[in-house]
Amino acid sequence: RNTKRIAKEFEKGVGKRLHRELVALDEKNTHTSYISDPWFNMYLSAREPVVLNFNPFISLTPDPREAYNNQLVRATNLIISSIKFLKSLKHNYLRPDIYYGDPKWSKSRLFKNFIRLLPTSVSWYGAYMVNAYPLDMSQYSRLFSSSRIPKLNKDELFTSECSRHLLVMRNGHFYVFDVLDSVDNILHPSEIVAHLIYIIQEADRLPEFALSYLTTEDRNIWATVRKQLLEAGNEENLKKIDSAIFCLCLDNIFPKDEDELSHCLLHGNGFNRWFDKSISLIITGDGRAGINFEHSWGDGVAVLRFVNEVYRNSTRHPALLPHSRSTETTVTTCERLEFKLNDSIQSAIHVAHEKFDERKKKMSMKRFQFRKFGKDYIVKQRMSPDAIFQLACQITFYRQFGKVVPSYEACSTAAFKHGRTETIRPTSMLTKQCSQAIVEERGKHSVAELRNMIDECSKYHRRLQMEAALGYGFDRHLFALKHLALSRGEPTPDFFLDTAYQKINHNVISTSTLQSPAVNLGGFGPVVSDGFGIGYHVSDTWVGCNATSYLDEELQEFLRCLEYSLNDIFDILEGRPL
């Protein structure tokens, strides 16, 4: 009742005024979205370390031809495919991101030729006429040659417009070499692999003080130490790191299973990463590949497009064959970056190292797969695959803890200019009722009644997805109202101080999904200390996820209950009583 009173007062009073001012601000700034600046500000003002808290990872599917999964071969092919993508983006050859309302027509050659003939100023309207909607691609400008720069209280994003060099890390050492010549030609594959061989041979031991541990630190501490690095005469080297096209991490690690690979890609050993780079391409000793990306500049949509294109090109049109030999010429263009480290900086590195090791020990991560059904089966049941997995998570938590909790699913709003994400709220009265029926009231409902409950949850979840994608979600709107009040020096409205608002933003179950044949798995850390981070994948024939938590026993029990819940759903859809 108290929350209801506060909400009504907010709606009629300060909330109404803030909304009016937000609308006016949005109409004034037609070049961007009302959420863009507040969202950047939220990320860049966060003082927690980016690793484990913000940076997600994506693991690439292995190359279908085993011989191409050699570390040097795969690294070279992925480098060249990445630079091809960069050149396509740079010269405006990259096919635009489009949502196709009628894929059969919109993806046809006839449609493409029709759009190509239209002037740029009206091509959008031509696409709209045939139910094809171009999506925002503004985030792509920070995919390459970008870094997050630590500053006191609020970080900055830096992007170089003319970078030609790649940053390569091996055993905690930094190397740079140009992968593009003066006229934008890509270095020959044999020359690239020669550089990589040289780096692997030269960086055969760890440095006494691995500078990259500093990127795992609290942002204000890292900002202070970076200032010391600049004052000690390391400005040019830091510029080369910040402006590099991307960071290639050649790991001397051979993961024994998927869980070990996930740990490697999410946080690794700390010394062979520069977590501030917009994207880092990681290649393990056995040729497994993945991406770790800094999250403030963009979201999964841009990174997934990059991963899809690069995977497709590197596997279908590899530039380097397994039996190829590198050139015998001496590598003279590869520079090893040497840093001047005084006692204070060395001490800071040592402390950062210890803190990072302590944090990563607390993080548990487990891979989960359920193979009784996948997307194809769920679609045949006329239900949403995404809704079924989200419902399974709700049933699982209720089974394990006997209650429902705030849950989060990310949804892209790239349909809008400078759109970022909106929240889908999978927890609802419908999922609660369904969870109670399956967990507490087994045997009290017929199979038809349970199936109907699942169907209603699926329909409602679809509606939430559509609302979020089309800008009708409530989370970002409320976030922007709060940001507007605080940015003007006003006191925080009571609505945002209420326990209900604080509770709904303590997302115990945080989920995200990226569906693609190029993606083997993905994941991220939990967003709260008592929660679960769930990167999930609904494949054609199976359902799976990568789950993280700081509560190891609870995580193992969660995944055990998740299998139980998916089995229950399967039995109900098959018409079998529980």
Active-site residue numbers? 295
**DSSP letter string, 343-384:** HHHHHHHHHHHHHHHHHHHH-EEEEEEE-S--HHHHHHTTS-
d(CA 462, CA 468): 10
d(CA 556, CA 87): 45
Contact 403, 383 (CB under 8 A): no
Strands 173-178 and 335-336: antiparallel
d(CA 282, CA 289): 6
Q: Which of 122, 116, 79, 119 is nearest to 95 (CA)?
A: 116
d(CA 344, CA 350): 10
Say how many Å lie between the first and final Cα of the chain, rounded: 38
d(CA 264, CA 89): 29
Q: Which of 1, 15, 49 is nearest to 494 (CA)?
A: 15
Q: Which of 196, 195, 192, 201 is nearest to 84 (CA)?
A: 192
d(CA 97, CA 516): 15
- Per the structure block, which two tokens stand in for 132? 């094809």
List, in sequence order, every residue forming a beta bridge with 166; answer none if it has no partner: 177
* CA dihedral (443, 445, 446, 452) positive or negative: negative
Decide: residue 577, CB within 10 A, 0-12 exposed, 13-18 middle, 19+ buried. Answer: exposed
Q: Provide the total of helices (H) and of strands (E) in the chain, helices listed first.
A: 21, 18
Query: How far is CA 511 from each of CA 411, 535, 539, rounded to the nearest angstrom?
Result: 10, 6, 16
Q: Which of 324, 320, 283 is nearest to 77 (CA)?
A: 320
Amino acid letter, 292: N
- Per the structure block, which two tokens stand in for 177? 């070499």
- Per the structure block, which two tokens stand in for 420? 């970022």
List, in sequence order, every residue forming a beta bridge with 177; answer none if it has no partner: 166
For the stretch 496-509, what's the b/e string if a residue is b when 16 or more beta carbons lie within 10 angstroms of its beta carbon?
bebeebeebbebbb
d(CA 420, CA 145): 21
Q: Which of 122, 143, 128, 138 is nearest to 98 (CA)?
A: 128
Checking phi first, is residue 99 left (phi over 0); if not, alpha (psi -120 to 50) or beta?
beta
Tokens 């609870």 -> residue = 554
**Close Cβ partners of 67 (under 8 Å, ≥ 6 residues apart):** 73, 322
Query: How far is CA 8 from each of CA 2, 4, 14, 278, rounded to the nearest angstrom?
Result: 10, 6, 10, 42
